[in-house]
Structure 1
Amino acid sequence: MSRHRILVVDDEHLIRWSLEQNLRKQGYEVSTAASGEEALKLLREETPDLMLLDVQLPGINGMDVLRKVKETEEDIIVIMVTALGVLETAVKAMRLGAYDYINKPFNLDELAIVIRKALETSELKQEVAHLRSEQSRQFGIANMVGESQHMKNVLSMVEKVAKSDASTVLIQGESGTGKELIAKAIHYESARAGKPFMAINCAAVPETLLESELMGHEKGSFTDAKSQKKGLFEVAHGGTVFLDEIGDMELGMQAKLLRVLEERSFRRIGGTKDIQVDVRIVSATNKDLLKAIDEKTFRNDLYYRIQVIPIHIPPLRERPEDILPLTLHFIEHFNREFGKSVKGISKIAEKFLLEYNWPGNTRELRNILERAIILESEETLLLEHLPQEIVTRTGGGTGGPLNFRLPPEGVDIEDVERELIRQALESAQGNQSKAAKTLRLGIDAFRYRMKKFGFL
């Protein structure tokens, strides 16, 4: 890590010299300026991480230098230094963007602590900004894969919702379809992207704990409440709260959530003060909420409050056009993650992937490819690298088993050969050597026929 650079701006030579010597001993790179004009000139040549800026300077005073610095280099930390000790000046400096304000004469040890804390705070802010930038890149619409018209419609809706002020969104779809990814895309494509995205699985948390997680609690409000705790709604102020599996939320908690949605405020457990919040609430479920309403397990009024903007994600079996693009996307992803160099997937394996029913949807496809890439070392994923259920639950071809009694109208001999190759591969669970032996063929002859009929 490079050393931090500090610029000392003071018209007193002795102060500049003593600060320079002291800061260099602490490992900082230090430059000095005797006036505001000299400081601004140095800033044009090299940007420091922190400035110690005297208020009383000849020519351009410290306040004017601070204002000019913040107009062009907002990230520079500025600590104001003065012998005046006037509170009004300190307040004005803080409003202009100064990090802190110290009076002369100052203690060098105390100044060292202030500088260290300022730089640590700055580094933390930079890390948070970098993390949020990475999350925006990772979870933005541009990184989402969808070639089918179904997914194009979903992503178009996501883009519109993200740019809107819609406060509630309901995402419905089977388990594994990517509901949380859609929720994150809505957040990171919106003006709320710089604020927190907080997620919770309503099915995984008991009702008594769920209220505390969402709304927080005051110290002493119950036996284990040894300190005050902010809930997700409060922490996510300005951002997004994702309520996964909202269909499993207990009725009592549903009533409390409805109040939050209607009033945009809540009280911590044990609290007496209403806390106002500005959050977008994105809910998700794999349940039929209308059926749950009929069964009296979900509130009718809450349903119509959360589904102002409904988004339905179709299961993977209804959008086969997405299977191969997703496969290539996951191969690239896991190549990077595990340092592998898998180039693609064989034709016969593609056929089985396309014809499989995918009860676990995109999550199942992702897990299958992750396992295959971890365990195998070949450049091409073969049928034998896929789990047994992919082979046993898939026909692997468009035709059924052929009847070897010659029909009156005749039959194309190549259809017979193609079907035999398919059945042999299915019986051998994709193992080409075993399939070749089943048909009494050498491996080269078998692979020739696989290529001929598009299985390789």
Structure 2
Amino acid sequence: MSDRDKGHILLVDDEDMVRQSTAQWLKLSGFQVDSYATAEEALAILDNTFSGVIVTDVRMPGMDGLTLMSEALVKVPKLPVILLTAHGDVDMAIKAMRDGAYDFIEKPFVPERLVETVYRACEKRRLVIENEKLQQNIASQSGIDAKLIGISPAIQRLKREILKLAELDTNVIVYGETGTGKELVAQCLHEYSFRHRNHFVPINCGGIPESLIESELFGHEAGAFTSAAKRRIGKFEYADKGTLFLDEIESMPTHLQIKLLRALQEGVIERLGSNQPLNVDLRVVAAAKVDLREDANFREDLFYRLNVSQLHIPPLRDRPEDAPLLFQHYLRCAAGDHERALRVLSEHDLATLSAYHWPGNVRELKNIAVRYSLDTELSVADILASGEWNTPSKPSYGRPLPLAVQVASFEADIIKGALQRHRGNMLAVMGELDLPRRTLNQKMTKYGLVRGDFVQ
């Protein structure tokens, strides 16, 4: 936000002298100001496209400031409304804050305090609008845009490639780092192909013991081996007329690669313990983290059978503009799943999401979004720094946060601690931290810290 574009203000005061001088001071401070003598005039021009805040006197002829606030919040929920009150109205103003007012300033006021309060309100309004835009963007998505969330050129290019390959019905190798969403890409290839009415069958070649993977793929007859009590339909047979997704195919044992190649070449399989050939018609989408051509343990002939087409999923660090959008999506999912209110991302949270390197890609981001939704005391940087989203079976990635994120997180913790110790007493916090009021207000806005949360 430039120094000359700090926010849009609707100023309402029935006293001409006060209204004009207040408007002039706010304009000189970099705000865009529209001033009105009556609440009715201001309310008439207000709609849900308004991106600023209201500053209004409380006692006015006709509609008073409290009624204006009530009506304005119906039109524009979460709209910051700052009340200008006389000394005798303070108790009433405190009640109004419980009813939704952003803040109140007692007359006669120091102009600098008004500017600081208005600035914080405009910052809050900007963050609310930014979060709403993220939510609207997600809600308005349809088709493949609702499945593969992102606005970056890299993810848009991937969507176009998926839709093109879906129509060709060729085998595909999907390359991508852990957590990038290889199975989701495979599902999209299936859902936008003519095979979409039949089964999409995933199998993780690295997650099944070598002694069982052949049975998983091709099935078995009763008595085929010791624990085979009854006939089992394998993944190949179950995926007939549909799509078989082979994740981590680089981990498939060599002897099974030979059987897989034969099944793909001839379109025929046999269950373990049977001599009866079964015809299968399916599309195979394989996923790998490494280039299969460079893997000495992967058969070259199988590679060429699978490698009719390729897709490469970009890591999240190469598309940082997608991180806030993805985080908002998983935040909404977590809030719905756990019946929690949807948290509003602070400026610091948004900056952290875009600055972080995301070694665990979208899977890591999803886990952090769930934690963030459930623990309202923690910022995104707090969770990233702690590494607590890692499960016991998955070690921390160990790579430090960017310096700017670490410094900001440290600063936020110091300010939060001072607010807790002084129970929201701003003068005491300013004294302890040796910060002017304006600087403290700006930093509190940046880190999503609200004075009222610390007042007892």
Give the TM interval when normalised to the shorter protein.
Answer: 0.5 to 0.7
**What is the alpha-carbon distance in structure 1 between the residues aligned to residue 284 and residue 142 of structure 2?**
21
Offset of residue 171 of structure 1: 0.6
- Residue of structure 1 in register with 2:50 after alignment: none
Residue in 1 aligned with 2:409? Answer: 426
2:443 to 441, 445, 450: 450
Separation in 2, partners of 1:151, 1:280: 24
Per-residue CA deviation, residues 244-290 of structure 1 (Å, 9 max, x unaligned), is: 10011111111111111111111111211211011111111112322
Task: Name the counterpart of 1:375.
Answer: 375
In 2, are the aligned partners of 1:335 and 1:342 still within 8 Å (CA)?
A: yes
- Give unmatched runs, 5+ long, in structure 2: 1-140, 388-397, 420-428, 449-456
**Contact 1:388–1:429 under 8 Å retained in 2:** no
Residue aligning to 2:124: none
Matched, 1:395 2:402: yes
Q: Identify the match of residue 234 of structure 2 among 226, 231, 234.
A: 231
1:161 aligns with 2:165: yes
SS in 2 for 1:323: helix
Query: Which of the numbers 151, 156, 178 marks the counterpart of 1:152?
Result: 156
Q: CA deviation at 1:427?
A: 2.5
Deviation at residue 343 of structure 1 after TM alignment: 4.3
Contact 1:392/1:426, CA 8 A, preserved across alignment: no
**Counterpart in the other structure of 2:19:** none
Q: What is the Cα deviation at residue 443 of structure 1?
A: 10
Partner Cα separation in structure 2 for residue 274 and residue 262 of structure 1: 14
- Do the aligned partners of residues 284 and 434 (structure 1) sit closer, same or farther apart at CA in structure 2, a change above 3 Å counting? same
Q: Distance in 1 between matches of 2:310 and 2:264?
A: 16
Aligned pair in 2 of structure 1 residues 304, 433: CA closer, same or farther (>3 Å)?
same
Deviation at 1:395, TM superposition (A): 3.1
Note closer, same or farther for the CA distance 1:289–1:149 as it changes in structure 2 (3 Å cut). Answer: same
Match in the other structure for 1:244: 247
CA separation of 1:258 and 1:383: change in aligned 2, threshold 3 A: closer
| Contact persistence 2:205–2:251 (CA under 8 A) | yes
Partner SS state of residue 310, structure 2:
strand
| In 1: Cα distance, 2:360 partner to 2:206 partner | 18
- Give the secondary-structure state (helix, strand or coil) at the position aligned to 1:230: coil
Q: Given that residues 218 and 271 in structure 1 are in contact (C-alpha distance below 8 angstroms), is that contact kept between their aligned partners in structure 2?
A: yes
**Structural mapping, 1:314-353, within 5 Å:** 314-353=314-353
Post-superposition shift, 1:206? Answer: 2.2
Distance 1:346 1:251 in 2: 51
User: What is the distance in 1 between the residues matched to 2:213 and 2:142?
Assistant: 29
Cα distance change, pair 323–451 in 1 and its aligned pair in 2 (3 A): same
Across the aligned residues of Structure 1 and Structure 2, the Cα RMSD in angstroms comes to: 2.9
Q: 1:455 to 1:227 in 2, by over 3 A?
A: closer
- Larger RCO of the pair (alpha carbons < 8 Å, separation 6+): 2
Distance 2:197 2:436 in 1: 58
Counterparts of residues 48-447 of structure 1 (less than 5 Å) = 140-166=144-170, 168-292=171-295, 296-376=296-376, 382-383=379-380, 386-389=383-386, 393-395=400-402, 397=404, 423=407, 425-428=408-411, 430=413, 432-434=415-417, 440-441=433-434, 447=440
Alignment of 1:33-48 (within 5 A): none
Structure 1 runs, 4 residues or longer, greater than 6 Å off: 435-439
Structure 2 letter corresponding to 1:208: S
Instruction: Please give the secondary structure, in 2, of the residue aligned with 1:284.
Output: strand
Q: Return the index of the structure with the highest Cα Rg.
A: 1
CA distance in 2 between partners of 1:430 and 1:241 (Å): 49
CA distance, structure 1, for counterparts of residue 143 and residue 256 of structure 2:
30
Distance 2:272 2:256 in 1: 13
1:283 match: secondary structure: strand
Distance 2:410 2:155 in 1: 35
TM-score (norm 1): 0.58
Tell me how far apart the structure 2 counterparts of residues 432 and 383 of structure 1 sit (CA, whole Å). 16
Asked whether the 8 Å contact 2:254–2:299 carries over to 1, the reply is yes
What's the offset of the Cα at 1:352? 1.7
- Indicate conservation of the 8 Å contact 2:173/2:307, yes or no: yes
